[in-house]
Amino acid sequence: MVIFMGSFWDFCAPFYDLAEKANGRAYGDMLKTVYGLVPNGSDVLEVAAGTGSISIAVSEKAKSVLCTDISKNMLAVAKKKAAKIKNIQFDNLNIFETGKADNFFDVVIASQVLHLIDSPEKAADELRRITKHMAIIPMSFTKNLRGMAKFNFSIYRLFGFAPKIEFEADTYAEFLKKIGFIDCQIIHLAGKIPMAVAVWRKEN
C-alpha cells in the first residue's frame, strides 16, 4: 500500500542522493563509466536526471548539458548542486516528445527510467531520433535482491516506488533489444545492488 499520495519522486528528492550513495561502489563506478563514455565537447541531454549527479559529472568535459526531469523537486535540488556550473541548463522535457530536431544531441543519457514508464518503446524511439552518436542507459538490477538491499527496496515500494519491470543481468539485455536498442555494449558493475551501463551507438 502506498502511504505517500503525492509524486514519489517529489517526495524523495531531499534524500535521493543518500539513497543512491547507499549503493556506493556500483553507483560511483556508474558515474565514472558514464563520464568516460561521453566524448569531450559533446552536447548532452540527460532525461530523468533526478538530482543531476550524472549531468554534473559529465559537465566537466561536455560542451553543454541539458538536465531534465519530470519532478520539479528533483530539478530544484539539481539546480542548487549545479549553481556554479555554467554549461548546464534545466528543463521539464517530455521523454516521448522532446520537441528537439533529429540528431540534436551528441549523447543522450537515460538512467533508471525506461523500466518505470508504460511505453518504453516510444521513449526509446525518441531518444534514438534525437541523438547523433550514442545513448547511454544505466540501470540497477533490483530483481531477486537479498538482505538489506531487498529490505531497502521494500521501503521504497511502501512509499510509491512502482517499476513496471525489474531486471537481472540477462533480462536487461533482452529488454533493450525488445525496445529497439540493438547491439548494445553492456558494462556490468558489481555492488550491493548490481548495475550496468548500456551503450547504444548510432550508425552513420
φ and ψ at residue 145, rounded to 5 degrees: -70, 160
Q: Is 1 within the bounds of a domain?
A: no
pLDDT tens-digit series, residues 2-16: 333 347 788 888 888
Question: What pLDDT, on a 0 to 100 scale, did the predictor assign at position 1?
Answer: 32
Q: Is 43 within the bounds of a domain?
A: yes
All residue ranges of the chain with pLDDT < 70 are 1-6, 145-161, 204
- Supply the CATH number for residue 170's domain: 3.40.50.150
Q: Is 95 within the bounds of a domain?
A: yes
Q: How many domains does the chain have?
A: 1
Q: Domain residues for 46?
A: 8-201
Q: Is 185 within the bounds of a domain?
A: yes
Question: What pLDDT, on a 0 to 100 scale, did the predictor assign at position 52?
Answer: 96
Is-contact 26 194, C-beta < 8 A? yes
Q: Rounded to a whole number, what is the distance in angstroms from the first to the last CA of the chain?
A: 48
Q: Is 158 within the bounds of a domain?
A: yes
CA distance 57 to 185: 21
Q: Is 3 within the bounds of a domain?
A: no
Question: What pLDDT, on a 0 to 100 scale, did the predictor assign at position 39?
Answer: 97
pLDDT tens-digit series, residues 159-186: 666 778 889 888 999 999 999 999 999 9
The answer for 167, left when phi > 0, alpha when psi is -120 to 50, beta otherwise, is beta
The three cell numbers locating residue 30: 556508474
Question: What pLDDT, on a 0 to 100 scale, did the predictor assign at position 3?
Answer: 35
Q: Is residue 78 packed enough to be buried (19+ CB in 10 Å), middle (13-18) or exposed (0-12)?
A: buried
Residue keyed to cell 548542486: 81
Q: Is 2 within the bounds of a domain?
A: no
- Structure-derived torsion over alpha carbons of residues 7, 12, 17, 21, reported in degrees to the nearest 10: -110
Q: Is 59 within the bounds of a domain?
A: yes
